[in-house]
Amino acid sequence: MKSPIAVVVLAAGAGTRMKSTLPKVLHPLAGWPMLRHVLDNVGRLKPSRIVGVISPGASAVAAAFAPHPTVVQKRPMGTGDAAKAALGALEGHRGPVLVVFGDAPLVTAASMKNLIAACARAKAAVGVLGFKAVDPSPYGRLIVRDGVLEKIVESKDATATEKAVDYCNSGVMCLDGRLIAGLLGAIGNDNAKREFYLTEAVGLARAAGQKTIAVEGEEAEFQGVNSRVELAVAERALQERLRIAAMTAGVTMTDPDTVWLSADTRFAADVTIGPNVRFGPGVSIAAGVQIRAFCDIEGARIGRGALIGPFARIRPGSEVGEDVHIGNFVELKATRMARGAKANHLAYLGDSDIGVASNIGAGTIAVNYDGYGKHRTIIGAEVFIGSNSSLIAPVRIGRGANVTAGSVVTEDVPAGAVAFGRARQVTKKGRAAPLRAKLKARATAAKRAKNKH
């Protein structure tokens, strides 16, 4: 059953410091839009509802929230006004309401659960996640006395004594669903920017005799993303988190700092990854796989015991079976390699099915595109494709067939057949020296003519 928690995700910020036409919360982080990380983290709380607050015309952001509903903050009038815009979508909800930001993708579900649980224990009207900052100067300060959060003071408004406080506001807040409408409705805009600040809810709750608390988390989780520099910093932090999780689960990385993962990369145990390997979205790796240096894998499944690379590229839609070998400078695209098949060197296999234990020679190309459409190459089991062969799709090569090196195959090859697709070789004995002399004279004459001009 879902818990009686509701989540409001504030995602109406303009993100002008990103210098981009792409909405800030849709910038990618570990292969996902930033907002997807936030939704994934709050989704682990199993809330009864998630409501997104977006800016007018932000259809792409609304689509990223789906299937969760969104409401529009008509004008950028502060975080308090943004949260207030969600009240209609929260109608009837009486449990805790968690307010988070769409540009804070590193906040973990564990920290949010701690906040919600602490509010329940303390019967607090408002709870805030805080952190001890190495450099607190940019952040609002949490003023806590005797376990009670008295107020949140913005850095620019803090006294000298308050500026010395290193306990800072993360922006993540939990509010009692029975009181949230009254608290948000009472927030005023008597400040320099004439905006409604969500942080004012703390003082309003205190004035009404309600309890307010702060719960401490790790600073690394509460880094927001407001620029591309901060996006890169968040990427590095998230990659470190993903690598540690993978290695803890039984993956070996010889140089972890050079391995780049997507948020949804899935590994079984006893996978070994060499240096400088990138995993795009949609990759699953079975047990015992070895991925050597400088590979790029995206949208693919790799079967048990496979050997990949070095310098291999596996593109979306590919399935690499058990004990398959994909060697250096081999590229797969939407290709299925059955158990024990091998393509060890310098091959392009696009839109292909490669049968059990078949061998693809160096320089082989599955010619899948005719300028208008893509076509498949079907290779049966135990087929041998000789080096430097071009397979012109659509084409089928039957079980146990042998395609000789240097062939251009334009017709189906029956099972057990040998196919030759070469031009006829012509050999003229003793003609090499005269040919070289002729070519040398031609080159000399051309050089003299050029020098005259």
Taking residues 223-227, report their average pLDDT.
91
Do 216 and 249 lie in a common domain?
no
Strands 141-145 and 148-153: antiparallel
Same domain, 296 and 360: yes
pTM comes to 0.89
Q: Give 284-348 as a DSSP string.
A: EE-TT-EE-SS-EE-SEEE-TT-EE-SS-EE-TTEEE-TT-EEEEEEEEES-EE-TT-EEEEEEE
Rounded Cα gap, residues 20 and 33, in angstroms: 14
Boundary residue ending a domain (193, 222, 251): 222
> Under a CB-based contact definition with an 8 Å cutoff, are residues 272 and 290 in contact?
yes
Looking at the domain assignment, is residue 358 inside a domain? yes
Tell me if 14 is assigned to some domain.
Answer: yes
Q: Which of 63, 4, 349, 50 is nearest to 341 (CA)?
A: 349
Say what the pLDDT of residue 190 is. Answer: 84
- The answer to whether residue 235 scores a pLDDT higher than 80 is yes
Identify whether 434 is part of a domain: no
Does position 186 have pLDDT exceeding 90, yes or no?
Answer: yes
pLDDT at 3: 59
Whether 452 maps to a domain, the answer reads: no
Geometric angle at alpha carbon 115, from 110 and 116, rounded to 5°: 95
Query: Which residue type, as a one-letter code, is found at position 398?
Result: G
**Is 427 domain-assigned?**
no
Give phi and psi for 157, each to the nearest 5: -100, -5
Q: Are residues 189 and 281 in the same domain?
A: no
**Whether 156 and 252 share a structural domain:** no
In the sheet that holds 266-267, the strands lie side by side as: 266-267, 284-285, 300-302, 318-320, 336-337, 352-354, 377-379, 395-397
Among 154-158, 276-280, 293-297, 330-334, where is mean pLDDT lowest? 154-158
173, 203, 222: which is the final residue of a domain? Answer: 222
428: helix, coil or strand? Answer: coil
Question: Do 90 and 237 have their domain in common?
Answer: no
Is the confidence at residue 287, as pLDDT, over 70?
yes
345 is catalytic: yes
In order, the DSSP letters of 45-105 are T--SEEEEEE-TT-HHHHHHHTTS-EEE-SS---HHHHHHTTGGGGTT--SEEEEEETT-T
438 within some domain: no
74 has a pLDDT exceeding 70? yes
Q: What would the two tokens of residue 451 be?
A: 């020098």
d(CA 217, CA 109): 12
Query: What mean pLDDT is predicted for residues 158-174?
Result: 94
pLDDT value, residue 162: 92
Distance CA 257, CA 246 (A): 13
Determine the pLDDT at residue 192.
75
- Residue 210 sits in the same domain as residue 302: no
User: In CATH, what number is assigned to the domain containing residue 104?
Assistant: 3.90.550.10
Write down the pLDDT at residue 154: 87
Helix (H) / strand (E) containing 162: helix 160-163
Q: Are residues 293 and 267 in the same domain?
A: yes
Among 222, 252, 281, which residue terminates a domain? 222
End-to-end CA distance of the chain: 88
Residue 1 has pLDDT above 50, yes or no: no
Residue 76: asked if its preceding bond is cis (omega within 30°), the reply is no
Our count of domains for the chain comes to: 2
Average pLDDT over residues 38-50: 97
Per-residue confidence (pLDDT) for residue 313, from 0 to 100: 98
What does the mean pLDDT of the chain come to?
95
In a domain, 72, yes or no: yes
Range of the domain at 204: 6-222
pLDDT tens for residues 329-373? 999 999 999 999 999 999 999 999 999 999 999 999 999 999 999
Examine residue 444 and state whether it is found in any structural domain, yes or no.
Answer: no
Beta bridge partners of 259: 277
Residue 374: which residues within 8 A CB-CB, separation 6 or more?
Answer: 350, 351, 368, 393
Of the two residues 192 and 115, the one the predictor is more confident about is 115
> pLDDT exceeding 70 applies to what percent of the chain?
99
* CATH number for the domain harbouring residue 394: 2.160.10.10
In angstroms, the Cα distances linking 195 to 53, 169, 188, 190, 201 are 16, 18, 8, 8, 14
Cα(154)–Cα(142) distance, integer angstroms: 9
Q: Are residues 127 and 245 in the same domain?
A: no
Same domain, 396 and 410: yes
Claim to verify: residue 197 and residue 255 sit in the same structural domain: no
Whether 297 and 355 map to the same domain: the answer is yes
Query: Among residues of the chain, what percentage have pLDDT more than 90?
Result: 92
Instruction: Choose the catalytic residue: 37, 93, 325, 345.
Output: 345
* Residue reference for tokens 């975080």: 79
Q: Do 233 and 257 share a structural domain? A: yes
